[in-house]
Amino acid sequence: MSTDSATTPALFLSHGAPPLVDSELWVSQLQRWAADLPRPTAILVVSAHWESAPLTIGSTTPGTPLVYDFGGFPRRFYEVTYTSPGAPDLARQVAALMPDDEPVVQQPNRGLDHGAYVPLTVMYPDADIPVLQISLPTLDPGRLLHLGARLRPLREQGVLIIGSGFTTHGLPFLRDPRPEAAAPGWSSEFDHWTAEQLARGDVDALLDFRNRAPGMPYAHPTVEHFAPLFVTLGASETPDRGIDQVVDGFWMGLAKRSFQVV
Say which residue, 37 or 5, is predicted with more confidence. 37
- Kindly report, residue by residue over 150-209, the tens digit of the pLDDT: 999 999 999 999 999 999 999 999 999 898 999 999 999 999 999 999 999 999 999 999
The answer to whether the CB of 192 falls within 8 A of the CB of 208 is no
Q: Which domains does the chain have, with CATH numbers?
A: 10-261 (3.40.830.10)
Please give the Cα distance from 204 to 34 (Å, whole number).
29
Nearest C-alpha neighbor of 127 from the set 65, 169, 52: 65
236-250 pLDDT per residue, tens: 988 888 899 999 999
Half-sphere exposure of 148 (CA within 13 A, CB side): 30
Calpha distance 188→190 (Å, rounded): 6
pLDDT band for position 16 (cuts 50, 70, 90): confident
pLDDT category of residue 17 using cuts at 50, 70 and 90: confident
What share of the chain has pLDDT > 90, as a percent?
A: 89
User: Which of 59-73, 124-138, 159-173 shows the lowest per-residue confidence on average (mean pLDDT)?
Assistant: 59-73
Please, which residues bridge with residue 136 across strands? 51
Distance CA 56, CA 137 (A): 7
Alpha-carbon distance values, 59 to 160, 220, 261 (Å): 17, 29, 27
Bridge partners of 43? 131, 160
pLDDT at 6: 60
* Residue 188 CA neighbour count, 13 Å, CB half: 6
Q: What is the pTM of this model?
A: 0.95
Q: What is the mean pLDDT of residues 83-109?
A: 95
Q: How many other C-beta atoms lie within 10 A of the C-beta of residue 46?
A: 30
